[in-house]
Chains A and B, each alone.
Chain A
Amino acid sequence: AQKITQTQPGMFVQEKEAVTLDCTYDTSDPSYGLFWYKQPSSGEMIFLIYQGSYDQQNATEGRYSLNFQKARKSANLVISASQLGDSAMYFCAMRSPLSQGGSEKLVFGKGTKLTVNP
């Protein structure tokens, strides 16, 4: 069974500094996808970044980058130059492999609450 672990219930960072949110995963499938989502207090889930298991390079999207270490089964999110608006819950998720009748359904970690201090 697939599993996502986020060990940091809460993180604090000073505005304009970088922060790393940890995510480790467990799967026996060679093909999988990893996602990060941001959930502000409004409740919506905002897609941030995606990393495929066969992608050669780490994914980047603006101030977000994914530190993908396949051998360690980790997919940490790095947010550079933190802004006050980055304060939110952040969820790491894994997609079931399509080859095994999987689909686009996701398995989520418990999330990390990020607080950006001025």
Chain B
Amino acid sequence: SAVISQKPSRDICQRGTSLTIQCQVDSQVTMMFWYRQQPGQSLTLIATANQGSEATYESGFVIDKFPISRPNLTFSTLTVSNMSPEDSSIYLCSVRISGNTIYFGEGSWLTVV
């Protein structure tokens, strides 16, 4: 199985501020994915992050609000900008290491007050 580490695991932030979430994988992967899970809801894909190119955003998500970096094949960051209480969610990164298994990080719980 893969080891996917996310930081921070939890944070409480003031509205209007920004927070950057890190995702580190213990092996090289082509694509990394960022999901959001709002309270009591299912997971929704925010964007796909490829190394060396711009991230691809899903409908309803924009780069200005959720800028993503992918500097190498084992690391990515997601920034939640100008936060509001509606951004309170679990943010998860995921990758496919080998075969058909898609793994997730432990998640980053974000509460905006």
A residues in contact (CB < 8 Å) with B: 33, 35, 37, 42-47, 50, 52, 91, 93, 95, 103-106, 108-111
Check B53 for interface membership: any CB of A closer than 8 A.
no
* B102 close to A43 (CB less than 8 A): no
| Chain A residues, Cβ within 8 Å of B107 | 42-45
State which of B31, B48, B104 has its C-beta within 8 Å of the C-beta of A45. Answer: B104
* B100 close to A43 (CB less than 8 A): no
Please encode chain B, from 68 to 110, with 1 for each CB lying within 8 Å of some chain A CB and 0 for all others: 0000000000000000000000101011100011111111010
* A91 close to B43 (CB less than 8 A): yes
Interface of A is mostly: strand
Further pairs besides A104-B102, A105-B48: 13, Cβ < 8 Å: A35-B102, A42-B106, A42-B107, A43-B109, A45-B92, A91-B43, A104-B31, A104-B95, A104-B96, A106-B45, A108-B42, A108-B43, A110-B42
Query: Smallest CB–CB gap between B51 and chain A, Å?
Result: 14
Check B66 for interface membership: any CB of A closer than 8 A.
no
State A37–B94 Cα separation when bound (angstroms).
12
| Chain B residues, Cβ within 8 Å of A33 | 100
Query: Smallest CB–CB gap between A7 and chain B, Å?
Result: 14
* B104 close to A44 (CB less than 8 A): yes
Query: Smallest CB–CB gap between A78 and chain B, Å?
Result: 19
User: With A43-B106, A104-B31, A105-B33 given, is the CB distance from A52 to B100 under 8 Å?
Assistant: yes
| Chain A residues, Cβ within 8 Å of B94 | 45, 104, 106
| Chain A residues, Cβ within 8 Å of B101 | 47, 50
User: With A43-B90, A109-B42, A110-B42 given, is the CB distance from A37 to B104 under 8 Å?
Assistant: yes
| Chain A residues, Cβ within 8 Å of B44 | 108
Scan residues 5-48 of chain B and give those whose CB is less than 8 A from a CB of chain A.
31, 33, 37, 41-45, 48
Query: Smallest CB–CB gap between B28 and chain A, Å?
Result: 14
State A35–B37 Cα separation when bound (angstroms).
17
State A72–B2 Cα separation when bound (angstroms).
33
State which of A35, A43, A111 has its C-beta within 8 Å of the C-beta of B42. Answer: A111
State A109–B33 Cα separation when bound (angstroms).
18
| Chain B residues, Cβ within 8 Å of A95 | 102
